[in-house]
Amino acid sequence: MFDTLRDNSRIIVYIVVIAFVISGGFMGYGAYLNNQSGGRQAPNQTASSVIAEVNGMEISQQEYFSLLQQQAPQSNLSSTQIIPFRYNVLDALIERKLLMAQAEVLDVKVDVSEAEIDENYNKILEQNDMTDQELADALSKQGYTIGDLREDIKTSIQDSKTITQTIDQGIGEIEVSEKEIEELYQQRYPQPKNSEDTSNSEAASGKESDSETKAAKDERPALSEVKDKLKQEIRTQKRNEALNSWLAELKANADITINDPVLSAYHALENENYNLAVEEFSAFVEKEDTDPIFYSYLAQAYEGQKNLEKAKEVYNNAVEAFPDNNDLRFNYAQFLADQENKEEAIAQLDKIAAGAEDDFMTYYQLFMMYSRLGAEEKAQSAMKEVQRISESMQSQSAAETDQPSSEDIQKEADQLKKDIKVETPVETENAN
């Protein structure tokens, strides 16, 4: 899941307002807030279709696509990322509905001050570089007023506070023991190797420890120096775990209906309802204009049923129907590796490599997969291509990207050589 979507205070914030003011689509924001909160309708708002229902509470297409736009990443998603991304956005809204319902059960009450509204309103002006009058003029063209905006800001803050307080009451107080802090300290800042032996040797001979051990001692902070930081880190982790567990329980006991066929099928797969997932994804792959990724999801559903022969058959049909689809072949190679079928997995990777051309990320994935399968020579060949493409991009002053540098790749290669055991693909995966 996307952690940002689990941040209960970021589902609806004024930043959405800013985006719509700039784009001239401010009406969408007003409707979005009102649909979520069940409050008044924005001017000229029309009824929208329902993408999902949670215990009878509707999630409209409009609020779903508004959040989808807000959370959309800056870079393009691959075909294997699009459906999980869409599903995670919907899942966040489902969780939000459940939390707001729990707020009523727990009788959560919050207040929003005028100062808080002013602070958020002024940030809108500042980030849009507008005066009050300029903002009023921009809103009036869409049948909206400053008063409407301030009311929506208030609703947004109120909902955010309500969710936060509901979570605090729902999961209870998070305790952190001294033992947990000590264990994390020892894990994060381990004792220098042979430090005890060195100390005993020093006591006997009067000699100082070697420079390496001394440097390690100097770099290790005292527990008192980092205790508060470690305690907060543990509390945050335990809180997230408690929240995820509580949300999972709420969803398991909820009546959730997803009307989007693709998201419904993916929901079944995510929740281990493999029979339904097989049924729904089977229908998708039979269509003439099917998306290749549906084959991967169908194979995963069969794998969940422990029907490995059928899963392999699906992958074989997929790569035959879409021979140039690298995502399918990578998924197939991973499946084969999980079944300890190393030779066939490498054969699928070889077919990808044959047509990779100058695709940086394809070679990077090949390097990682070959390494995990113990095909060191092929891994190094893929890494050389990564370095070649990286150097070419740098020499041409290409636009900045989020791709790892050739130096990072080399470091990763060196680490993989140390960490990976090559007995079987499964042992390799578990080792990592």
Which domain CATH number covers 26?
Answer: 1.10.4030.10
Number of structural domains (the chain) is 3
Domain assignment of residue 384, yes or no: yes
Domain assignment of residue 316, yes or no: no
Q: Given a cut of 60, is residue 314 above it in pLDDT?
A: yes
Domain assignment of residue 192, yes or no: yes
Amino acid 413: pLDDT: 58
| Dist. CA 224–CA 212, nearest whole Å | 24
Amino acid 90: pLDDT: 95
Domain assignment of residue 290, yes or no: no
Question: In terms of domains, do 77 and 161 share one?
Answer: yes
Q: Mean of the pLDDT values across residues 249-256?
A: 94
| Dist. CA 16–CA 66, nearest whole Å | 9
Question: In terms of domains, do 186 and 152 share one?
Answer: no
Q: Given a cut of 90, is residue 17 above it in pLDDT?
A: no
Question: In terms of domains, do 116 and 196 share one?
Answer: no
Which of residues 152, 171, 190 is at a domain's end? 171
Residue 254 or 425, more confident: 254
Domain assignment of residue 402, yes or no: yes
Q: Given a cut of 50, is residue 3 above it in pLDDT?
A: no
- Digit-coded pLDDT (tens) for 108-136: 999 999 999 999 999 999 988 999 999 99
Question: In terms of domains, do 56 and 121 share one?
Answer: yes
Amino acid 402: pLDDT: 56
Domain assignment of residue 337, yes or no: no
Question: In terms of domains, do 110 and 26 share one?
Answer: yes
- Digit-coded pLDDT (tens) for 358-384: 889 999 999 999 999 999 999 999 999
Question: In terms of domains, do 66 and 128 share one?
Answer: yes
Q: Given a cut of 80, is residue 95 above it in pLDDT?
A: yes
Question: In terms of domains, do 10 and 113 share one?
Answer: yes
Q: Mean of the pLDDT values across residues 342-350?
A: 96
Question: In terms of domains, do 166 and 187 share one?
Answer: no
pLDDT range class, residue 81, cuts 50, 70, 90: confident
| Dist. CA 194–CA 187, nearest whole Å | 16
Question: In terms of domains, do 80 and 165 share one?
Answer: yes
| Dist. CA 42–CA 144, nearest whole Å | 8
Q: Output the pTM of the full model.
A: 0.71
Domain assignment of residue 288, yes or no: no
| Dist. CA 350–CA 346, nearest whole Å | 6
| Dist. CA 279–CA 282, nearest whole Å | 5
Q: Taking the chain, what is the end-to-end CA distance rounded to the nearest angstrom? A: 20
Domain assignment of residue 25, yes or no: yes
Question: In terms of domains, do 144 and 16 share one?
Answer: yes
Amino acid 391: pLDDT: 85
Question: In terms of domains, do 58 and 129 share one?
Answer: yes
Question: In terms of domains, do 134 and 182 share one?
Answer: no
Q: Given a cut of 90, is residue 259 above it in pLDDT?
A: yes
Share of the chain above pLDDT 70, in %: 75
Q: Is the dihedral of CA 82, 88, 89, 94 positive or negative?
A: positive
| Structural domain that includes position 373 | 355-432
Share of the chain above pLDDT 90, in %: 62
